[in-house]
């Protein structure tokens, strides 16, 4: 079986973990946490990093830092992980959905303005599958309507966007008031489980630090003004993070090189297409995502079953937020339609994408695709 995500821990991971064990620092108080925060923030190109226990917690912490509360609305894509909606709902706010662009599955920025109401407080662009959102329109709307931008770059660590408005290349994670990322095992940088909030704003950084640590008092430790969480990251996780971050340039090179190989080989198969890299983007190809052309009568579910028989593991695309059983039950998005999201869900899947993947394995995946679509 060619697994969907395989990688090896061949850098300083074991060495740094041993340092934790030898020194006895295994909790969040250990020195790797600060170091990882500083080094990751510097990699992204922002001032502050606040490490937390996972990406979902990072999103909620970031929204809290912005002051999002009951009655507020946050605009986000219908095609994303449920974490984005959960983070919002936990704070009592309402997720407001926007459909995606058909060729790269990122939020359709031209549909955002139509969803802005007097309750809208923030826009949450989600950089999808390694590819950045077309941010210039988001910058413009945030300015015009005085909205905050909170980006989810869990899938786009290291990806870049060329802003015509600002006339420069910008890093995903450095284009918003506050951004959140995940270090789950399949992300470009992993700590096993983990996440981080990044920002240039000292107030948001302070609020994030408070929220992840029970909002302990500053003058009097056990005096709490607000309800926080224990979202802390351990020194063990941060040690892995520091070691992975040392290798990030290599990881991105590997991802881009394998994408080129997939792209070339897949061009021979008429029933499918590779998601497009826009001219404004330097994607990190977090996963190798394809869509089936509907005219050939095979959908993603069917293809996934067939590929499994050829020893190729795949993953489906996101299921639209408007179709999630939990939200259908509560009537949250009743009557709303997002056809591009529905299409991506039905016809999209991603192929083996791990850092340990070889060109030879890609050739086998492409061969399996050819056979499975015969
Ligand atoms: C992985 C992911 C998350 C959630 O991260 P966890 O660490 O699993 O909580 C959030 N947003 C996106 C876009 C993701 O891909």
pLDDT score of 218: 85
Please choose, from the candidates 262, 212, 253, the residue with its C-alpha nearest in 3D space to the C-alpha of residue 232: 212
Q: Is 283 in the pocket of ligand 1 (CB under 6 A)?
A: no
Beta-strand (E) ranges in 131-252?
148-152, 160-163, 168-171, 178-182, 195-199
Q: Which residues pair with 169 in a beta bridge?
A: 162
Question: Do residues 285 and 130 lie in contact, with contact meaning Cβ atoms separated by under 8 Å?
Answer: yes
d(CA 307, CA 173): 35
Alpha-carbon distances, residue 220 vs 12, 174, 215, 217 (angstroms): 39, 34, 11, 5
pLDDT tens by residue, the chain, 374 residues = 999 999 999 999 999 999 999 999 999 999 999 999 999 999 999 999 999 999 999 999 999 999 999 999 999 999 999 999 999 999 999 999 999 999 999 999 999 999 999 999 999 999 999 999 999 999 999 999 999 999 999 999 999 999 999 999 999 999 999 999 999 999 999 999 999 999 999 999 999 999 999 999 888 999 999 999 999 999 999 999 999 999 999 999 999 999 999 999 999 999 999 998 999 999 999 999 999 999 999 999 999 999 999 999 999 999 999 999 999 999 999 999 999 999 999 999 999 999 999 999 999 999 999 999 99
- Tokens 């407080």, residue located: 121
What's the pTM value of the predicted model, to 2 decimals?
0.97
CA distance 256 to 174: 21
- List every span in the chain annotated with CATH 3.90.1150.10: 248-372
CA–centroid distance, residue 154 to ligand 1 (Å) = 6
Options 1.10.3720.10, 3.30.2350.10, 3.40.640.10, 3.90.1150.10; which CATH number does 13-245 get?
Answer: 3.40.640.10
Name the class of domain 248-372: alpha beta
Establish whether residue 199 lines the binding site of ligand 1, counting it when its CB lies within 6 angstroms of any ligand atom.
no
Q: For 55-81, write each residue's pLDDT tens digit.
A: 999 999 999 999 999 999 999 999 999
**Is residue 195 in contact with ligand 1, taking CB distance under 6 Å?**
yes
Q: How far is CA 231 from CA 41, 51, 87, 116, in A?
A: 18, 9, 13, 31
Q: What is the residue with the minimal CA distance to atom 2 of ligand 1? A: 154
Which of 182, 189, 190, 194 has most ligand 1 atoms within 8 Å of its beta carbon, as the pocket-test mutant? 182
Cβ–ligand 1 contact at 182 (below 6 Å): yes
Asked if 126 contacts 80 with a C-beta cutoff of 8 angstroms, the reply is: yes
How far is the centre of ligand 1, averaged over its atoms, from the C-alpha of 83 (Å)?
7
CB of 171 within 6 A of ligand 1: the answer is no
Diameter of the chain measured on Cα atoms: 70
Is the distance from the beta carbon of residue 126 to the nearest atom of ligand 1 less than 6 Å? yes
CB of 51 closer than 6 angstroms to any ligand 1 atom: no
Domain with CATH 3.40.640.10 in the chain: 13-245
Is residue 346 within 8 Å of residue 299, measured between CB atoms? Answer: yes
Nearest CA to ligand 1 atom 13: 154
pLDDT score of 337: 98
In short, whether 61's Cβ falls inside 6 Å of ligand 1 is no
């Amino acid at each position: 079986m060619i697994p969907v995500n395989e990688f090896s821990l061949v850098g300083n991971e074991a060495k740094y973990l041993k340092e934790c064990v030898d020194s006895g620092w295994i909790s969040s108080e250990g020195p790797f946490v600060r170091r990882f925060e500083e080094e990751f923030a510097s990699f992204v190109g922002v001032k502050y990093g606040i490490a937390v226990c996972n990406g979902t917690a990072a999103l909620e912490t970031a929204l809290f830092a912005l002051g999002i509360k009951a009655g507020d609305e946050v605009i986000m894509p219908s095609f994303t992980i449920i974490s984005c909606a959960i983070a919002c709902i936990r704070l009592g706010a309402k997720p407001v959905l926007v459909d995606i662009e058909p060729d790269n599955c990122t939020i359709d920025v031209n549909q955002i303005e139509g969803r802005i109401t007097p309750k809208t407080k923030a826009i949450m662009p989600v950089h999808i599958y390694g590819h950045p959102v077309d941010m210039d329109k988001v910058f413009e709307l945030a300015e015009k309507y005085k909205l905050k931008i909170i980006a989810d770059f869990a899938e786009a660590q290291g990806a870049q966007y060329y802003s015509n408005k600002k006339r420069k290349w910008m890093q995903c994670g450095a284009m918003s008031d506050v951004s959140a990322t995940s270090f789950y095992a399949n992300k470009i940088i992993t700590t096993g489980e983990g996440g981080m909030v990044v920002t240039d704003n000292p107030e948001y950084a302070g609020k994030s630090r408070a929220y992840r640590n029970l909002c302990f008092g500053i003058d009097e430790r056990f005096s709490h003004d607000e309800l926080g969480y224990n979202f802390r990251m351990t020194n063990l996780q941060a040690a892995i993070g520091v070691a992975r971050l040392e290798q990030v340039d290599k990881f991105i090179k590997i991802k881009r090189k394998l994408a080129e190989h997939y792209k070339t080989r897949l061009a021979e198969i008429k029933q499918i297409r590779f998601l497009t890299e826009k001219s404004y983007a330097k994607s990190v190809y977090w996963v190798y995502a394809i869509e089936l052309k509907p005219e050939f009568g095979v959908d993603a579910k069917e293809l996934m079953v067939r590929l499994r028989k050829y020893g190729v593991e795949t993953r489906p695309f996101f299921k639209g937020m408007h179709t999630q059983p939990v939200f259908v039950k509560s009537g949250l998005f009743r009557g709303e339609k997002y056809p591009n999201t529905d299409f991506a869900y039905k016809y999209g899947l991603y192929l083996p994408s791990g850092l340990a993947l070889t060109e030879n394995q890609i050739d086998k995946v492409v061969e399996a695709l050819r056979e499975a679509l015969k």
